Amino acid sequence: MKDPIGKKLFGAMVGVALLASAGAASADEASGTIQSIDAAKRTITLDSGKNFKLDPAVTLANLRMGTKVTVSYEAKGGQNIATKVVAASAAGGMGSNPPAGNTGPAMREAPGTNK
């Protein structure tokens, strides 16, 4: 006896897995220093020479030339569309040191305890 429903279900599962992996493969990240900003075109260029067109959801006002950033982007229509731009200090401190006095066990103690 054949199982056409099982084959259809398996085929659908494979199709969903392929679509999910294709979507994940199109997103990428790049890190570098902002070398130029074109506010009129809503583009930025990193020191690597890579250009990004900013998605409407990305705020241009907080970006400055010389800032180290990590850009999350998708390649669409021959352009790199930046979906998120995070300054290095906001991205987990890439290369930065913690402020003086903010190290050691005292930072993990509850407020008001003097141990």
23-66 per-position pLDDT tens digit: 444 579 999 999 999 999 999 999 999 999 999 999 998 899 99
pLDDT over threshold 80, residue 14: no
**pLDDT level of residue 88 (50, 70, 90 thresholds):** confident
Q: What is the pTM of this model?
A: 0.57
**pLDDT level of residue 74 (50, 70, 90 thresholds):** very high
CATH of region 28-95, choose from 3.10.20.30, 3.80.30.20, 2.30.30.230, 2.40.50.320 = 2.40.50.320
Tokens of 93: 């401190």
**pLDDT level of residue 101 (50, 70, 90 thresholds):** very low
One-letter amino acid of 58: V
**Residue 54, number of CB atoms within 10 A of its CB:** 23
Assess contact for 26 and 72: CB atoms under 8 A: no
Distance CA 36, CA 39 (A): 10
Q: What is the mean pLDDT of the chain?
A: 74
- DSSP letters of 89-107? GGTT-TTPPPPTT--SGGG
Distance CA 110, CA 115 (A): 10
**pLDDT level of residue 97 (50, 70, 90 thresholds):** very low
Distance CA 4, CA 14 (A): 15
